[in-house]
Amino acid sequence: MPRVLSGIQPSGQVHLGNWAGAIRQFVELQASHDCYVFVASYHALTSVRDPAALRAASRQVVIDYLAFGLDPARTAIYLQQDVPEVTELCWLLSCICPMGWMEKAVSYKDKVAKGISANVGLFTYPILQAADILAVDADLVPVGKDQVQHLELARDIAARFNEEFKSEVFTLPAYRLAPDADVLPGIDGEKMSKSYGNTIDPFQEEKALRKRVMSVKTDSQPMEAAKDPTGCAVFRIFQGVAGKDDPRTVELAQRYRAGGMGYGHAKQALFELLMDRFADARRRRGELMADPGYVDGVLTKGATAARTKARAVVERARAACGL
């Protein structure tokens, strides 16, 4: 059975971009794959400086994963720090990774260009990400388009290690793009990202969620004007959630092109879609928040499964290096 891995940083609430880029696929894949999902708490340390907030966010992201439909009977869910073999593997990989590869990483360059303070952890982020993937011998990683380069780097790092030590320690992972693989825009029209503060949280209280949706940036075209839906962040989010061929998406696109519909109407349609699409997840999340013992058990079980895989991989890597 092919092994699949995915992770999300606990640096804020899980948002629509996380769900569209990976979680949605994972829920579908767990029926036919050996699945591993982890909370990327070490990655979060590149920006988070509040220990209590990190602990709370790590816990919350697990609850969110479960609420979205991950089944711990079919998916190992764990915290990154509970699998220490990953950080050892990261060091082994960093010793054979050229600095030039990191300097070309799109995510690093993008954050620096936006004025986000860079540290060594942010610079070497793709190496730790490669270790996350390679530690469990993952065959497949579901991603959005913005993460494709990191998966290609993981493949390059794995191949270089195998070549440098004349070994076949690592499986080269493949990636799978989301069906609607374009990155969801945030409320400002840019890529939806926690780092940019432009996300939409489907678990927000109803009034707060509606207010957030109503704040999505649009142009100043009048209500009567015909509009191009593909250039509107509201429509792109709607399409990313409902699906390109969903009748609701087709109908909304027609209303854009016909004119006579204001952006407020489109935002209301998006809000109603979110409330409908995530109604079950919102209910399940409330149940999980009230049952901390269940969540603890899920994490213990997941970490045990992940460490079993990671120990075997690290032993192979050590042997190849002469350790």
SS3 labels along 232-247:
CHHHHHHHHHHCCCCH
CATH 1.10.240.10 domain range(s) in the chain: 204-277
pLDDT in tens, 71-111: 999 999 999 999 999 999 999 999 999 999 998 887 788 87
Q: Give CA–CA dist 31/151, Å, rounded.
A: 23
pLDDT in tens, 51-73: 999 999 999 999 999 999 999 99
User: What does the pLDDT read at residue 43?
Assistant: 92
Kindly tell me if the per-residue pLDDT of 182 is higher than 90: no
User: What does the pLDDT read at residue 111?
Assistant: 79
User: What does the pLDDT read at residue 215?
Assistant: 98
**Local confidence band at 18 (pLDDT 50, 70, 90 cut-offs):** confident
Higher pLDDT, 181 or 136: 136
Select the CATH number that applies to the domain covering 204-277 from these four: 2.30.30.90, 3.30.70.141, 1.10.240.10, 1.25.40.10: 1.10.240.10
Kindly tell me if the per-residue pLDDT of 14 is higher than 90: no
User: What does the pLDDT read at residue 209?
Assistant: 98
Reported pTM: 0.85
Q: What is the mean pLDDT of the chain?
A: 94
Its sign, for the CA torsion 141, 128, 51, 15, is negative
User: What does the pLDDT read at residue 290?
Assistant: 98
Identified catalytic residue from 191, 227, 267, 309: 191
| Residue 89 and residue 161 in contact, taking contact as beta carbons nearer than 8 Å | no
Kindly tell me if the per-residue pLDDT of 313 is higher than 80: yes
User: What does the pLDDT read at residue 259?
Assistant: 94
Direct distance between the N- and C-terminal alpha carbons of the chain, in angstroms, rounded to an integer: 31
Select the CATH number that applies to the domain covering 3-184+292-321 from these four: 3.30.365.10, 3.40.50.620, 3.30.70.1140, 1.20.140.10: 3.40.50.620
Long-range contacts of 117-122 (CB under 8 A, 24+ apart): 119/46, 121/43, 121/45, 121/46, 122/46, 122/47
User: What does the pLDDT read at residue 179?
Assistant: 66
3-state helix, strand, coil in the chain (%, to 5): 60, 10, 35
**Local confidence band at 12 (pLDDT 50, 70, 90 cut-offs):** low
Is 194 among the catalytic positions?
yes
Q: Give CA–CA dist 254/274, Å, rounded.
A: 20
Kindly tell me if the per-residue pLDDT of 181 is higher than 60: no
User: What does the pLDDT read at residue 105?
Assistant: 85
User: What does the pLDDT read at residue 180?
Assistant: 58
How many CB atoms lie under 10 A from the CB of residue 308?
A: 12
pLDDT in tens, 199-208: 999 999 999 9
* For residues 152-174, average pLDDT: 97
pLDDT in tens, 233-272: 999 999 999 999 999 999 999 999 999 999 999 999 999 9
Identified catalytic residue from 104, 109, 111, 207: 111
How many CB atoms lie under 10 A from the CB of residue 145?
A: 13
pLDDT in tens, 273-309: 999 999 999 999 999 999 999 999 999 999 999 999 9
* DSSP track, 18-45: HIIIIIHHHHHHTTTSEEEEEE-HHHHT
CATH 3.40.50.620 domain range(s) in the chain: 3-184+292-321
pLDDT in tens, 117-158: 789 998 999 999 999 999 999 999 988 777 888 899 999 999
